[in-house]
Structure 1
Amino acid sequence: MNIHPEKQYLDLLSLLLEKGSERIDRTGVGTKAVFGHTMRFDLSEGFPVFTTKRVYWKTAFKEMLWMLSGGHNIRELVEQNVHIWSDWPYKKFIDAQPDGSPDKSITMEAFEQRVLADDAFAQKWGDLGPVYGKQWRRWKTEDGQEIDQISQVIDLLKHNPSSRRIIFDGWNVGELDQMALPPCHKHYQFYVDPNTNKLSGGMVQRSCDSYLGLAFNIANLAFITTLLAEQTGYEVGEIVWFGMDVHLYMNHIEQAKKQLTREPKAFPTLVIKRKPDSLFDYTIDDFELEGYDPHPAIPAPVAV
């Protein structure tokens, strides 16, 4: 009997609940954590969007496409009804307001509307600093030039697929203090098997919110690997996820227990409706997930 690949994720939740060490973290919420964990998924066996709770895959894909574009302002996400990055600039704005100011009690929705409506406000308060996309597409060198790491990856896949340097990274030590949040999924590497012509992708995640974030991280690793394969002429192979500080927030424990009562369903199939000329020209309308029939969502708060 074949074991469903999503069982790896459920086993991780069980491990965290049963053996995770309780730690105080920068958010003050607290976690149960383990150090070092690996999962791998064969993309020929289905696209790994977890099924034991609904994953809002379009939100995940929009985030990845935004990163690939080099984006670093929430305005581009809010325009697409994506709010997963808004907590950080919203908190920064509220904290900057003096006591008694009407803006001290502005709602998140009103904050986002100002980001959409006011260019100057968006530039000042919607910007996240040199986060993922900025590092991936415009890593600044000492002499003021910029390196497009994603384009370099594409070039290596096309012209030197046996290279062990098919890598892009977001952990720019010199700019970490300027980022709203240092990169969690920090290092990506790709591997072409000459015997099968398959492209596999690996990702190292320094910090992993196992309940809320990890489903997005796995889906997006599969997504970027699939897009690179299509653009460079390979079949899809595996994705391999390496988690370092892997944790479950204390206010996610009951949700995780509920998810563990559910049986995984068949993974869906990613359908790419259009192949543009460039990796950077896809839109969310180019994708569909066929056969995605998950269990209902289980909401949980974000630790900021």
Structure 2
Amino acid sequence: MKVFLIAAMSADGKIAEQEHQSSLDWTSTEDTQFFVEKTKEIGTVVMGRKTFATIGKPLKDRRLIVMTANPDSQAGGEGVEFTSNDPATLVGRLQAEGCEQVIVAGGASVYGQFFAAGLVDEVFLTVEPVLFGQGVPLATDFGRVNLEFVAARQLNSRAIVLHYRAQRSFMKPVAERTPDHQYRNLLKKIMEEGVDVKPIQGEGSRMILGAQMHFSLENGFPMITERDLSGRFMVGALGEHFAFLHGARTQEELKAFGCAWWKRWVTKERCDIFGLPEGDLGPGSYGPAWTAFPTAEGKQIKERPNLRTHIISPWIPQYTIQHAELPPRKVVVAPCHGYLHVLVFPETKQLSVHHFQRSGDIPVGVVFNMIQYAAFTMMLAQVTGYTPKELVYTISDAHIYESQFEHVKELLAREPRPFPTMMLDSNVKDLLDFRPDHFTLTDYDPHEAMVIPTPV
């Protein structure tokens, strides 16, 4: 079901100079002709009661549906239907009837309802050469909508039609999202029930075995709100992920993608231990593993979506296993995350990812990994033609280091807020073409930023 929106507006963004004003009073004849042509082409037209009142009659050769709170008390003549359905219910009903496309024709409240519901696919805006300085805005009571330019058409010497494609969000409106407590509950469980251990990092930690979180992506992008991870933090997380998708294994390659935090792990002293040059993560690291086998490009998903073998692994045993009878392993940090099982549901055109992490620093590393694999789920869904559904996040060794305990107490004192909205540039069709500027984060309302230490 495709939903179009058509409107005429002044150069300062008003669809009328005053309430109850018909666009016929101030728009050009060519715009009226365009409206008739486009609405006849689509066939089914939806508008609000006030807009219908400015027309006052059925639209010839078109099905007209008028949205109103009191459909039983209305009269509009043959070819006019009145409904109290909300946009989502109306679109669902029309789709069930076999209707393939509908065009929304006003007014501001109805436009806003369709935008807020995330139902609009394409927009046609006629811009007339007049400034009202006041009046009725294009739409009301909706959040940000990103538009992609498709084309422009000059109607006459003065007016122009702008054609845009709207980026539909599969996420609920922010007001309908439920604050997610899974991350906070995991921190609390480790602090209260965890086992104290002494890992190889030389600093004690508290851990539990086998933690799992389920993130329904319609409830927002799983980027924690207990502390601010926007800006350079988010860019660094995405940059690291893109670098590894491209096979990066050195500090310089990671920096080129916007990730600068590996320097402490690839010093000369640490690399010497594994017989690697300074700045080299090694052939057993994420990038070489992900690119050594043709698993990340999505071809199998497109051709055989029902398979249960859409698996990506960062683990190359001969480079990561170590004991006295073997030479030093060929990786500075054995891959902690990045074990992925992609589940595809062709019947509903949805895609989910189950991510497994062998070792997770919950206050620091995991929050950035959550960003990476939620983004990956969205990226893979986009390039394979599916809607992202769920990120299931499993951690085998989930731990908090002793130096992080006080910071965690502060995090636990902060109440989670609704997850933000993340939008992708829909023009990107290849997994390897994504970059941080193809991601737009909105509706993010975190607590203040916090820098938390982590041992090397």
TM-score normalized by the length of structure 2: 0.56
Structure 1 match to 2:236? 59
Structure (1/2) with the larger helix percentage: 1
- SS at 1:178 equivalent: coil
Q: Does 1:150 align with 2:296?
A: yes
Structure 1, unaligned stretches of length 5 or more?
97-122, 139-146
- SS at 1:204 equivalent: strand
Structure 1 match to 2:186? 12
Structure 2 match to 1:226? 378
Q: Does 1:248 align with 2:422?
A: no
Structure 2 match to 1:184? 336
Using a 3 Å threshold, how does the CA distance of structure 1 residues 5 and 36 change in structure 2: closer, same or farther? Answer: farther
Residues in 1 aligned to 2:392 and 2:382: alpha-carbon distance in whole angstroms:
19
Deviation at 1:4, TM superposition (A): 4.0
Q: Does 1:132 align with 2:286?
A: yes
Residues in 1 aligned to 2:258 and 2:375: alpha-carbon distance in whole angstroms:
20
User: 2:340 touches 2:354 (CA, 8 Å); kept in 1?
Assistant: yes
Residues in 2 aligned to 1:10 and 1:192: alpha-carbon distance in whole angstroms:
29
- The higher radius of gyration belongs to 2
Deviation at 1:282, TM superposition (A): 1.4
Residues in 2 aligned to 1:81 and 1:50: alpha-carbon distance in whole angstroms:
21
Alignment partner of 2:305 out of 157, 161, 164: 161
Structure 2 match to 1:215? 367
Encode CA deviations 1:156-209: one digit per residue, 9 max, x unaligned: 110111111000101111111101101111410011123321100011111010
Residues in 2 aligned to 1:225 and 1:186: alpha-carbon distance in whole angstroms:
12
User: 1:202 touches 1:221 (CA, 8 Å); kept in 2?
Assistant: no
Deviation at 1:82, TM superposition (A): 2.5
Encode CA deviations 1:84-128: one digit per residue, 9 max, x unaligned: 2111112636978xxxxxxxxxxxxxxxxxxxxxxxxxx931211
1:1-304 alignment runs, 5 A limit: 4=178, 6-55=180-229, 56-90=233-267, 92=269, 124-130=277-283, 131-138=285-292, 147-151=293-297, 154-176=298-320, 177-304=329-456
Using a 3 Å threshold, how does the CA distance of structure 1 residues 179 and 257 change in structure 2: closer, same or farther? Answer: same
Residues in 1 aligned to 2:270 and 2:191: alpha-carbon distance in whole angstroms:
35
Residues in 2 aligned to 1:253 and 1:82: alpha-carbon distance in whole angstroms:
26
Residues in 2 aligned to 1:84 and 1:225: alpha-carbon distance in whole angstroms:
24
- SS at 1:9 equivalent: helix
- SS at 1:58 equivalent: helix
Count of residues paired in the alignment: 267
Structure 2, unaligned stretches of length 5 or more?
1-175, 321-328
Using a 3 Å threshold, how does the CA distance of structure 1 residues 248 and 4 change in structure 2: closer, same or farther? Answer: farther
Residues in 2 aligned to 1:91 and 1:210: alpha-carbon distance in whole angstroms:
28
User: 2:227 touches 2:447 (CA, 8 Å); kept in 1?
Assistant: yes
Structure 2 letter corresponding to 1:166: H
- SS at 1:37 equivalent: strand
Deviation at 1:83, TM superposition (A): 2.2
User: 1:4 touches 1:264 (CA, 8 Å); kept in 2?
Assistant: no
- SS at 1:288 equivalent: strand
User: 2:249 touches 2:280 (CA, 8 Å); kept in 1?
Assistant: yes
Residues in 2 aligned to 1:22 and 1:91: alpha-carbon distance in whole angstroms:
31
Encode CA deviations 1:202-224: one digit per residue, 9 max, x unaligned: 11111010110111111111111
Superposition RMSD in Å: 1.9
Q: Indicate the structure whose relative CO is greater, using CA pairs within 8 Å and at least 6 residues apart.
A: 1
User: 1:197 touches 1:234 (CA, 8 Å); kept in 2?
Assistant: yes
Using a 3 Å threshold, how does the CA distance of structure 1 residues 208 and 255 change in structure 2: closer, same or farther? Answer: same
Structure 1 letter corresponding to 2:394: F
